[in-house]
């Protein structure tokens, strides 16, 4: 699929990634943030290292996401490519409210982003012009995003496993590997990796590895769970 030709959204996205990867970046930021500070994941006693099974991890996530209704978090995104010596760094904030509201915005080095509120969506680049409305039927990226918001917030692993090969790839720290199964996504992305903190209370980073060797790492911090978010954010 020619993502650029079919969806002008990609020409103004705040991510330093290819069109196909843009979709995965936003979607897996969503996935990681929903798991951040999951209140159902309790710390273990010092020195104990219980074996972590896939079923156990997925079960804990299922319990935890039910308690997450809103979330805000700062993020730092690091983009590394074979063409550039130095990494490209961008910073911003993420907002989420169940069932289908999301705002992703970069504030440094440029102001840009997008928001989704049900069937309404907007995008912006800079601060001089008002946000532009997006027709969802012409934005397959956002349609996929909304579908996966619903899947992750309901912990619908049956649905997710139809699109991704989900595995626990490490126990210390607990690390999930997600490999896209659908042609439109797997053509660009090799694997997405979620790394959890030692006490399993939050996701520390998301790593997107592209097929061509480039990678994006997104780190989250200062997360706030279940606090009111102004409607105008979306």
pLDDT at 149: 66
| Burial environment of residue 40 by CB neighbours within 10 A (0 to 12, 13 to 18, 19 or more) | middle
The pLDDT averaged over each successive group of 10 residues in the chain (234 residues) is 36 38 49 44 45 70 74 89 88 89 91 88 87 82 69 68 83 80 82 73 76 86 88 91
pLDDT at 40: 37
Peptide bond into 50 cis (omega under 30): no
pLDDT at 178: 85
pLDDT at 150: 65
CA 130/CA 122 separation, integer angstroms: 10
pTM: 0.71
The residue range of the domain holding 192 is 3-233
| Burial environment of residue 50 by CB neighbours within 10 A (0 to 12, 13 to 18, 19 or more) | exposed
- We report the CATH number of the domain holding residue 203 as 2.50.20.10
Domain count, the chain: 1
């Amino acid at each position: 699929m020619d993502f650029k030709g079919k969806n002008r959204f990609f020409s103004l996205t705040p991510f330093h990634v290819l069109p196909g990867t843009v979709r995965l970046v936003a979607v897996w930021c969503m996935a990681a943030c929903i798991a951040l500070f999951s209140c159902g994941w309790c710390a273990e006693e010092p020195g104990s290292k219980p074996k972590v099974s896939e079923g156990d991890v997925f079960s804990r996530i299922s319990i935890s996401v039910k308690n997450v209704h809103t979330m805000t978090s700062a993020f730092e995104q690091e983009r590394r490519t074979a063409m550039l010596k130095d990494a490209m760094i961008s910073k911003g904030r993420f907002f989420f409210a169940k069932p289908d509201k999301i705002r992703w915005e970069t504030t440094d080095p440029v102001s840009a982003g997008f928001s989704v509120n049900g069937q309404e969506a907007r995008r912006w680049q800079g601060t001089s012009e008002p946000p532009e409305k997006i027709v969802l039927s012409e934005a397959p990226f956002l349609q996929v995003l909304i579908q996966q918001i619903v899947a992750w917030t309901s912990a619908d692993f049956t649905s997710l496993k139809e699109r991704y090969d989900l595995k626990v790839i490490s126990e210390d720290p607990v690390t999930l590997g997600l490999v896209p199964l659908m042609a439109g996504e797997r053509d660009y992305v090799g694997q997405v990796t979620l790394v959890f903190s030692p006490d399993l209370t939050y996701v520390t980073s998301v790593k997107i590895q592209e097929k061509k060797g480039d990678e994006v790492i997104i780190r989250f911090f200062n997360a706030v769970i279940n606090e009111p978010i102004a409607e105008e954010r979306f």
